[in-house]
Structure 1
Amino acid sequence: MATETHGSEPVSACVDAGGSAVGMPQLCGDWIGNQVFWLVITLVVIYFVLARIALPRIAAVLAERQGTITNDIAAAEDLKRKAQDAEAAYDKALADARAEAQVIAQKARDDIKADLGDAIAKADAEIAAKAVESEKAIAEIRDSAMAHVETVAKDTAGAIVAALGGAADDAKIANAVDAQLKG
């Protein structure tokens, strides 16, 4: 070994006669070659462990995450497209419903106008019939009144002549009233 001593002489400049290291052994110039050799071996082993075991696992995890993210983005875009399609279908259905409501309302207005026109025509016909009946009744009353006017006029004229002290002759009174009524 490097720290063994053979007699009283030191084996190396880095070790004293008692076998103890002088200063920091890492900085001993006699051991630099040995330290570099083991450093290279250690770095090669670490490199192979990282390259063959750790880095492939990390790469697999990163690839899996990237795949998951890509799938999630694709699913989100698909859902967004479906939502837009659903919104378009909803807007179309709403527009169709409004158009149908307008058609129904217009049909109801037209039906009401037609019914109102029929009712007005019926009412006009009833009013016209009642007007004709009323005109007949008025004509009958007028004719009846005219017939009674002559009688009333003759009676009144006879009463006036009698009140004035004269003798009333029915024939003369009737001729006088008829002359006045004829014009």
Structure 2
Amino acid sequence: MSVLASLLTAAAAAPADAHGEASSAGLPQLDPAWWPSQLFWLVVTFGVLYWLMAGRFLPSLGGAIEERRDRIADDLDQASEFKRQADEAEAAYNKALADARAKAQSIAADTRADVDKEIAALQAETDEALDNQLDAAEARIAKMKTDAAEKVREAARDTTRAVVEALIDEAPTDDAIKRAIDNAASA
């Protein structure tokens, strides 16, 4: 306030002819006679503006800024919660996917084992049936060999009897024919 008082005193002490020169120049703000009123209105205007800014505008701006800061913090908290939930959901999805894959592999292995058992059973049945058919065929072949051997022996007996009868005009005994055929077969 002392600056204001010294300015007012200096303005009052200004010579009158200076007042005349400034007013003739047409610039009243440069006329020292007007300075005290200009300074007064400058102080009043800035005082009112300071009072309005400090009392009304700055607190409402500060409240708006604080409200915005709180809203941003809440949004960030909510976003981090959503991210945590998304991470949990992704982990649950990956676990469910892994469980499903393991279950599918287990089912495939079980099915493969069942099919292998069925194939083995069918193969055993088929092998058994083939063995039975093979045994039956071998029995038929053995019977056919036995029958053929018997027919060959019978033909050999008949031929031997016919040859001996033709050569010596006498019919040989069955024992003699049998011994002759046995001796010929063993030699």
TM category (shorter chain) comes to 0.7 to 0.9
Whole-angstrom CA distance in 2 between matches of 1:25 and 1:169: 186
Task: With the length of structure 2 as denominator, give the TM-score of the two structures.
Answer: 0.76
Q: Deviations over 1:32-55 (max 9, x none)?
A: 222111111111011111112222
Counterpart in the other structure of 1:8: none
Q: Is the 8 A contact 2:156 2:181 kept in 1?
A: yes
Give how far 1:14 is off. Answer: 3.2
Whole-angstrom CA distance in 2 between matches of 1:77 and 1:52: 38
Distance change (3 Å), C-alpha of 1:142 and 1:168: farther
Counterpart in the other structure of 1:119: 122
Q: Percent identity?
A: 34
Counterpart in the other structure of 1:147: 150
Give how far 1:166 is off. Answer: 4.6
Counterpart in the other structure of 1:33: 36
Give how far 1:95 is off. Answer: 0.7
Select which of 19, 24, 36 maps to 1:14.
19
Instruction: Specify every segment of 5 or more residues in structure 1 that has no aligned partner in the other structure, as ranges.
Output: 1-10
Give how far 1:22 is off. Answer: 2.7
Task: With the length of structure 1 as denominator, give the TM-score of the two structures.
Answer: 0.77
Letter in 1 for 2:172: A
Letter in 2 for 1:53: R
Letter in 2 for 1:181: A
Aligned residues between the structures: 168
Letter in 1 for 2:69: Q
Larger RCO: 1 or 2 (CA < 8 Å, sep 6+): 2
Whole-angstrom CA distance in 2 between matches of 1:150 and 1:133: 25
Query: 3-state SS of the aligned residue for 1:96?
Result: helix
Whole-angstrom CA distance in 2 between matches of 1:170 and 1:71: 132
